[in-house]
Structure 1
Amino acid sequence: MLGKLRKFVNSVAPTTVGKALYKAGVTPDELTYTGLALSALAPLAVYLGKLIMLPFLILLAGLMDVLDGAVARASGRTTAFGSYLDSVTDRVSDAFLFLAMALAGVNQYITMIALAFSLMVSYARAKGELLNVRMEGIGLVERSERLIILFVMSLLLLLRQLLVDNIIMAVVAVLAAATVIQRSVHVKRSIG
């Protein structure tokens, strides 16, 4: 859904922010690992009662995910392993962020279903691309949309809106499941 925005960011970020970070000596892998570390801090912050940190950690982790690709493209350092590392750390980061939401009081059962379908969205893309099917932009909720939703949910948690967060998490689960179906249909149509 955010495909047009992503294309804009991917066209602007490498020429501005990506180049600046690269010139400062920042590598794409450092940004990838920083995003993973920020995500890992999210459940710890919630566990320690620092719920106020959760929106910032989600926002910064998402920013690192945008910037690692920008630096890779700006520096000409896009590699197969970098792509693999980004994908794997994104899945681990997702698990940390969903865990943080469950620890913050969002219904654990619904959260685990949403996480499972979120991981399946990514798996469906990876498997489709392995079959040489273009998968970018296919489906309702890719990772960027899910991060935005988790960010909004973290703000609502600060307002003690658990019922609203439970409903939103259920919507994430349904939308992620719908995205898996959309991607599966897309692959079926593409490969016959």
Structure 2
Amino acid sequence: MNLTGKKEYFEKIYTPVGTLLYKLHFPANLITFLSLLMGTASALAYYNGNLIIAMSLLVTSGIFDLSDGIVARLSGKPTKFGAVFDWIADKWIDGLVLGIVGYFYADPFWSILAITATMLHSFIKPVVYAEIGYEVKIKG
């Protein structure tokens, strides 16, 4: 399944959330921090066997994660720190949730493969830009 083709569908969910958070004067970095908290809480819920709570917290974390960029753009205050903080929070959540789910609920091979894939995904674009030398960054 290609989620890129569903981008407009998902934007209908998280864009209103981001707009609301912007109107409520939530700073983008606070939203990233809330995403980090929800993702960590999700991992702890998986660890404790509370799967419904864990999934709910993970979805909430994802919505916050998608909303922080909207708030940064609407406020006219996107920062390099915010972009790095968002990236680190994403990788923390990916590793923690996949590690715990993999350890307790899946074959370790598939868990390691999933964690490696999420980490590799983050490095492909910067390596391509560095090695090939693209002057203009491409979104996506």
TM above 0.5, yes or no, is yes
CA distance change for structure 1 residues 128 and 88 in 2, over 3 Å: closer, same or farther? farther
Per-residue CA deviation, residues 80-100 of structure 1 (Å, 9 max, x unaligned), is 211111111111111112023
What residue identity is the alignment partner of 2:67?
Answer: L
Q: Equivalent residue for 2:75?
A: 75
Per-residue CA deviation, residues 134-168 of structure 1 (Å, 9 max, x unaligned), is 4544xxxxxxxxxxxxxxxxxxxxxxxxxxxxxxx
CA distance change for structure 1 residues 80 and 129 in 2, over 3 Å: closer, same or farther? farther
Q: Map of 1:17-166 to 2, 5 A cutoff?
A: 17-130=17-130, 131-132=133-134, 134-137=137-140
Q: Paired residues, what number?
A: 134
Counting aligned pairs with the same residue, the percent is: 25
Contact 1:42 1:96 in 2 (8 A): no
Distance 1:65 1:104 in 2: 25
Per-residue CA deviation, residues 93-145 of structure 1 (Å, 9 max, x unaligned), is 111120231144111221112211220011112333454364544xxxxxxxx
Q: Equivalent residue for 1:144?
A: none
What residue identity is the alignment partner of 1:105?
Answer: Y
Per-residue CA deviation, residues 9-39 of structure 1 (Å, 9 max, x unaligned), is 29x82xx443331221211111111111111
Q: TM-score, normalized by length of structure 1? A: 0.61
Distance 1:28 1:101 in 2: 29
Q: TM-score, normalized by length of structure 2? A: 0.80
RMSD between aligned residues: 2.4
Contact 1:39 1:97 in 2 (8 A): yes
Q: Equivalent residue for 1:3?
A: 4
CA distance change for structure 1 residues 81 and 109 in 2, over 3 Å: closer, same or farther? same
Q: Runs of 5+ in structure 1 lacking a partner?
A: 138-192
Contact 1:28 1:69 in 2 (8 A): yes
CA distance change for structure 1 residues 17 and 47 in 2, over 3 Å: closer, same or farther? closer
Distance 1:33 1:23 in 2: 18
